[in-house]
């Protein structure tokens, strides 16, 4: 049975890397390479179009649409091309991929203004529905950045989002295979920093990538993500890597609820899962540092949809998590109006403005 009326994964990478040659160039054996080697190599690789596997999984798991994200070494152009060819299947968010590549290749150093300018130009094409994955950052930097400096780096991009009435994504969480530092993306270790952006830009919807759980089983970042979502109207949480039990607290919190949750699984990232039956959680996403790199396409949708079977919420709430919230925030075209329960004071964008009340009996 299909799990929801209209299923959208809001965090999908349709691009993948063939890392063999880069490993060979660096004289690394694939079987001995660490996740850190992979993270370094990825930045210099050219991604290929992995949409045939994505289409296979979309059919397999009845996923109607995906929001495509660029990540390290991926291009906006490939995602744009997929959106052009399959407008009923994909939308895409964009990031300043050229600015960072130029800095990495020894050209113009990265600046927040240059990144914001690149994003401004991309959003001006009308082909992208938001900014992500995460906020643009200088990943050539090798020294600690302060909270004040990092927040100042993010504001030019927030200004661009405001100008285009667009959506931004801020990254959170860790996967454990390689260390995440305070050098360029410190907010990923501090979801509560997003509070300042939420208050300064109340008109800009902000999605917290992974909602604190990208990998590992600590709930510390998840708790911070919940706090920011509960105390700001413009914060939304990607939940695809949450294990089932994590949904309960967000769903019963009167300041969060299904209207602030969106299913986003990091499809394509191939983060492996670890299972530990009889313990809590019984399984979760994590890279295990002593194990070999994962070579197959990890089945994240199968895992995540099974977690949703543990939920005791209404189907209308599940429909919001699986697609309704995404349709509202990313302004997606859905097959019919009134598929999702109305949320808050606003009408859904696909609504026609007429007041229509469902008939009730006695």
CB of 178 to Zn ion, least distance (A): 14
Across 67-85, b (16+ Cβ under 10 Å) vs e yields bbbbbbbbbbebbbbbbee
Nearest to 13 by CA among 55, 54, 60: 54
The interface mask with Zn ion, positions 242-271, x = CB under 5 A, is: ------------------------x-----
Q: Is 165 exposed, middle or buried (0-12, 13-18, 19+ CB in 10 A)?
A: exposed
266 or 317: CB nearest Zn ion: 266
Nearest to 213 by CA among 261, 136, 253, 265: 265
- Three-class SS of residue 169? strand
CB of 71 to Zn ion, least distance (A): 5
CB of 248 to Zn ion, least distance (A): 25
9 or 266: CB nearest Zn ion: 266
CB of 42 to Zn ion, least distance (A): 12
37 or 238: CB nearest Zn ion: 238
Interacting residues with Zn ion between 118 and 157 (CB under 5 A): 133
Instruction: Give yes or no for a contact between 296 and 268, defined as CB atoms under 8 angstroms apart.
Output: no
Nearest to 239 by CA among 216, 220, 213, 278: 213
Please tell me the count of residues contacting Zn ion according to CB under 5 A. Answer: 2
Interacting residues with Zn ion between 207 and 226 (CB under 5 A): none
The interface mask with Zn ion, positions 334-353, x = CB under 5 A, is: --------------------
118 or 266: CB nearest Zn ion: 266
Instruction: Give yes or no for a contact between 23 and 30, defined as CB atoms under 8 angstroms apart.
Output: yes
* Token digits of residue 255: 């300041």
CB of 266 to Zn ion, least distance (A): 4
299 or 316: CB nearest Zn ion: 299
User: What are phi and psi for residue 304, nearest 5 degrees?
Assistant: -65, -40
118 or 133: CB nearest Zn ion: 133
* Token digits of residue 180: 């995440």
Interface ranges with Zn ion (CB under 5 A)? 133, 266
């Amino acid at each position: 049975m299909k799990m929801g009326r209209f299923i959208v994964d809001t965090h999908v990478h349709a691009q993948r890397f063939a890392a063999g040659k880069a490993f060979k160039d660096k004289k690394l054996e694939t079987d001995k390479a660490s996740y850190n080697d992979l993270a370094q190599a990825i930045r210099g690789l050219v991604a290929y179009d992995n949409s045939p596997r994505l289409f296979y999984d979309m059919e397999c798991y009845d996923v109607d649409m995906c929001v495509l994200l660029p990540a390290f070494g991926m291009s906006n152009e490939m995602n744009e091309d997929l959106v052009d060819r399959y407008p009923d299947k994909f939308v895409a968010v964009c990031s300043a991929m050229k600015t960072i590549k130029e800095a990495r290749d020894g050209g113009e150093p990265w600046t927040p203004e240059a990144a914001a300018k690149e994003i401004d130009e991309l959003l001006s094409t009308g082909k992208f529905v938001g900014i992500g994955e995460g906020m643009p950052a200088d990943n050539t930097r090798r020294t600690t950045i302060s909270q004040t400096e990092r927040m100042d780096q993010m504001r030019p991009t927030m200004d661009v989002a405001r100008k285009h009435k667009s959506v931004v994504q801020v990254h959170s969480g860790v996967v454990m295979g390689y260390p995440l530092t305070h050098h360029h993306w410190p907010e990923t270790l501090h979801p509560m920093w997003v509070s300042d952006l939420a208050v300064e830009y109340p008109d800009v919807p902000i999605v917290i990538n992974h909602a604190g759980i990208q990998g590992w089983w600590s709930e510390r970042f998840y708790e911070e993500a919940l706090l920011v979502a509960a105390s700001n109207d413009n914060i939304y949480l990607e939940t695809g890597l949450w294990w089932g039990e994590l949904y309960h607290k967000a769903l019963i919190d009167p300041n969060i609820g299904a209207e602030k949750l969106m299913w986003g699984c990091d499809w394509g990232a191939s983060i492996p899962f670890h299972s530990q039956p009889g313990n809590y959680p019984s399984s979760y996403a994590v890279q295990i540092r002593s194990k070999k790199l994962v070579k197959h396409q990890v089945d994240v949708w199968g895992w995540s949809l099974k977690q949703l079977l543990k939920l005791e919420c209404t189907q209308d709430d599940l429909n919001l998590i699986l697609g309704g919230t995404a349709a509202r925030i990313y302004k997606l075209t859905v097959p019919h109006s009134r598929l999702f329960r109305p949320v808050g004071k606003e009408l859904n964008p696909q609504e026609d403005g007429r007041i229509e009340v469902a008939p009730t009996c006695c």
